[in-house]
């Protein structure tokens, strides 16, 4: 069949329209696709520690892909609120721990330091028998036993409209340090931490049973914020409290003013022993009795009764979270922070030869490793 000859002007015009349509289609498709993908070009933390936000909050798989992370360590977590054992990825667990243990608005490098400390603490605990109160679990979510932990539901309830932003910050701090742990002499450290040191951290044997070489008292000059709290008791309440717990002290309203005195203090300023009439109690016992934030306190008598002036918050051993925040604000990165608070340690990848071997015995937990921190 003979083809009909086309008019060249019409052919050129039709081709131009077709080309324009193709370009439009391409631009439309590109716009749709770019709207869906995570902006991986901008969400890595910058040198200044600022991060752009992925919206909505990325899944752990997004983060694994972004940080090119393929390893996974499964752990058994006992959720004490839901009363159930949950099988979980280690890094996912650490995101929940950092969310609960440190305010998400703290400096990004402080969050990273917390992530490494929490990961190390977790793996060290697992290598030393796991959770002490739940034999089937590696760790539990009770801050009085292991470490605090937030589920996604809890994060959403706590953070509300800031959920996506805060989750991003914490998850990126965790995945930015994925697999990194603290080792001393080639073995995992018992990476204890606390909220605020009051300016000086403490030797481990002054709080727990064992002297560990990497848990030495160091100065912590940039506590941000510095915690200073007063605990006041009028004389009647004070005498009642002491008589109920330590009747052997012989403390009465008549002798109480002469009966209470700090006997010995450590170099850090934390109270070692407090005299209560005819008996002597430790600084830790005094902290429990009077509900003080730490054992770094002085006493002052007023017309009404006694005031304990307390510095710091927590046991004072290892990393100070507020001290880490202060260092980060002054330009320290997470490695500098960790190497400051844990004496003589190095940062290694978990899973490398020797890292998972058993380290020296854990310090005895004499009054709860972690007090609920405010
Ligand atoms: Zn536990």
Domain shared by 179 and 328, yes or no:
yes
Q: Which of 282, 311, 340 is the last residue of a domain?
A: 311
Residue 40, domain member (yes or no): no
Same structural domain, 204 and 264: no
Range of the domain at 301: 228-311
| Distance between Cα 363 and ligand 1 center (Å) | 15
Pairing of strands 180-184, 346-349: antiparallel
184 and 355 in contact (C-beta within 8 Å)? no
In a domain, 55, yes or no: no
Same domain for 102 and 189, yes or no, is yes
Q: Does the residue 206 lie in any domain?
A: yes
Tally of structural domains, the chain: 2
Instruction: Count how many residues are written for the chain.
Output: 374
Does any domain span residue 237?
yes
Do residues 344 and 302 share a domain?
no
| 233 closest CA partner among 218, 250, 253 | 253
Residue 292 lies in a domain: yes
C-alpha 7 – ligand 1 centre gap (Å): 84
Q: What is the pLDDT of residue 287?
A: 98
What is the whole-number distance in angstroms between the Cα of residue 172 and the centre of ligand 1?
26
pLDDT confidence of residue 7: 74
Among 334, 369, 343, 354, CA closest to 116:
334
CA–centroid distance, 77 to ligand 1, in Å, is 9
Q: What pLDDT, on a 0 to 100 scale, did the predictor assign at position 84?
A: 95
Whether the bond between 225 and the residue before it is cis, its omega within 30 degrees of 0, is yes
Asked if residue 71 and residue 84 are part of one domain, the reply reads yes
- 3-state SS, the chain, equals CCCCCCCHHHHHHHHHHHHHHHHHHHHHHHHHHHHHCCCCCCCCCCCCCCCCCCCCCCCHHHHHHHCCCCCCCEEEEEECCCCEEEEEEHHHHHHHHHHHHCCCCCCHHHHHHHHHHHHHHHHHHHHCCCCCCCCCCCEECCCCCCCCCCCHHHHHHHHHHHHHHHHHHHHHHHHCCCCEEEEECCEECCCCEECECCCECCCHHHCCCCCCCCCCCCECCCCCCCCEEEEEEEHHHHHHHHHHHCHHHCCCCCCHHHHEEEEEECCCCCEEEEEECCEEEEHHHHHHHHCCCCCCEEEEECCCEEEEEEECECCCCCEEHHHHHHHHHCCCCHHHHHHHHCCCCEEEECCCCCCCCCCCCCCCCCCCCCCCCC
CA 170-175-179 angle, 5° bins: 130
186 and 333 co-located in one domain? yes
153 and 137: one domain?
yes
What is the CA(84)–ligand 1 centre distance, in A? Answer: 13
Do 247 and 263 belong together in one domain? yes
Q: What is the pLDDT of residue 329?
A: 97
What is the C-alpha to C-alpha distance for residues 363 and 128, in angstroms, rounded to an integer?
11
My answer on whether 107 and 190 are in the same domain is yes
Low-confidence residues of the chain: pLDDT under 50 = 1-3, 31-54, 352-354, 356-374
- Reported as a single tens digit per residue, the pLDDT across 68-93 is 666 678 899 999 999 999 998 899 99
Has residue 53 been placed in a domain?
A: no
Of 281, 311, 341, which residue constitutes the final position of a domain? 311
| pLDDT recorded at residue 44 | 37
- Same domain? For 260 and 332 the reply is no
Cβ pair 324, 340 in contact under 8 A = no
The alpha carbon of 224 and the centre of ligand 1 are apart by a number of angstroms equal to 29
Q: Ligand 1 centre and the CA of 270: distance in Å? A: 27
CA of 305 to the centre of ligand 1 (A): 39
Nearest partner of 72 among 81, 84, 63, 80, judged by Cα:
63
Q: Is 77 left (phi over 0), alpha (psi -120 to 50) or beta?
A: beta
Residue 73 confidence (pLDDT): 84
Residue that has been written with the tokens 């300023």 in this structure:
269
247 assigned to some structural domain: yes
Same domain assignment for residues 75 and 187: yes
**Cα 258 to middle of ligand 1, angstroms:** 42
CA 150 – ligand 1 centroid, Å: 15
Task: Compute the distance between CA of residue 253 and CA of residue 235 in angstroms, rounded to an integer.
Answer: 7
Cβ–Cβ under 8 Å, residues 256 and 269: no
Is residue 13 assigned to a domain? no
Claim to verify: residue 88 and residue 203 sit in the same structural domain = yes
Q: Is 123:69 a contact under the CB 8 Å cutoff?
A: no
Distance of alpha carbon 112 from alpha carbon 177, whole angstroms: 7
């Amino acid at each position: 069949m003979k083809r009909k000859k086309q008019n060249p002007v019409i052919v050129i015009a039709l081709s131009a329209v077709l080309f324009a349509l193709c370009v439009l289609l391409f631009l439309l498709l590109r716009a749709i696709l770019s709207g869906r993908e995570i902006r991986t070009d901008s969400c890595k933390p910058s040198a200044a520690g600022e991060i752009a936000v992925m919206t909505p909050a990325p899944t752990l798989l997004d983060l694994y892909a972004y940080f090119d992370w393929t390893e996974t360590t499964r752990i058994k977590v006992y959720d004490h609120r839901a009363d159930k054992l949950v099988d979980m990825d280690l890094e996912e667990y650490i995101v929940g721990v950092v969310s609960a243990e440190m305010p998400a608005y703290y400096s990004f490098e402080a969050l990273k330091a917390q992530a490494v400390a929490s990961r190390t603490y977790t793996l060290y605990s697992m290598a030393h028998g796991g959770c002490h109160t739940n034999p089937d679990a590696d760790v539990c979510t009770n801050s009085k036993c292991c470490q605090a932990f937030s589920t996604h539901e809890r994060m959403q309830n706590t953070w509300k409209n800031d959920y996506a932003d805060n989750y991003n910050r914490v998850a990126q701090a965790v995945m930015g340090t994925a697999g990194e742990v603290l080792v001393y002499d080639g073995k995992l450290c018992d990476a204890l931490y606390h909220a605020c040191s009051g300016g000086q951290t403490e030797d481990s044997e002054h709080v727990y049973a064992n002297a560990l070489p990497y848990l030495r008292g160091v100065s912590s000059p940039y506590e941000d914020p510095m915690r200073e709290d007063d605990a006041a008791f009028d004389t009647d309440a004070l005498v009642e409290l002491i008589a109920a717990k330590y009747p052997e002290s012989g403390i009465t309203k008549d002798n109480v003013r002469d009966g209470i005195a700090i006997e010995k203090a450590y170099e850090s300023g934390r109270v070692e022993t407090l005299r209560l009439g005819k008996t002597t109690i430790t600084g830790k016992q005094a902290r429990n009795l009077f509900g003080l934030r730490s054992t770094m306190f002085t006493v002052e008598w007023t017309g009404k009764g006694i005031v304990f002036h307390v510095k710091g918050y927590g046991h004072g051993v290892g990393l100070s979270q507020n001290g880490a925040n202060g260092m980060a604000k002054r330009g320290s990165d997470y490695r500098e922070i960790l190497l400051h608070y844990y004496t003589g340690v190095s940062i290694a990848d978990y899973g490398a030869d020797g890292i998972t071997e058993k380290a020296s015995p854990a310090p005895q937990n004499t009054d709860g490793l972690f007090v609920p921190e405010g």
